[in-house]
Amino acid sequence: MRLLLDTHTIVWVMNDNRRLSRAARAAISLPSNPVFASAASIWEAATKFRLGKFPDAALLVDNPTRILAALEIEVISVSVEHARLGGLLPHSHKDPFDRMLAAQALLEGLALVSADTIFDDLAVARLW
């Protein structure tokens, strides 16, 4: 199974946080499951860190390339098609970061590893 980690999931994996579910932890740790993070998640983490809303993301924000490489997480860039679908998704949820992750998961055939149930309304395969 190919996995896309939500922003909070990346930070929880990085910090070995207990809030990471057993199912998510098991799926992420399986060598046969490629694990991805969106460039949009780094943007979200940096924005929320700057605003003082996400202090746990400090290490990720300080050196995302090094942290993601150490965690064996591959980065997915935001493409024109991702941006188009993210804007067109038929849902009232206004968070642009969540909309982008949903679009990337749908277009790239990825299961989104997230505690956020909002993704269930977007027909995204969510693992938690």
User: 75 is in which domain, residue-wise?
Assistant: 3-127
CATH code for the domain of 61: 3.40.50.1010
- As a whole number, mean pLDDT of residues 33-42 equals 98
Average pLDDT, whole number, for the chain? 96
Instruction: List the strands of the sheet with 35-38, edge to edge.
Output: 74-76, 35-38, 3-5, 111-113, 126-127
pLDDT at 93: 73
pLDDT of residue 60: 98
Give me 111's structure tokens.
Answer: 């299961």
pLDDT tens string 42-80:
999 999 999 999 999 999 999 999 999 999 999 999 999
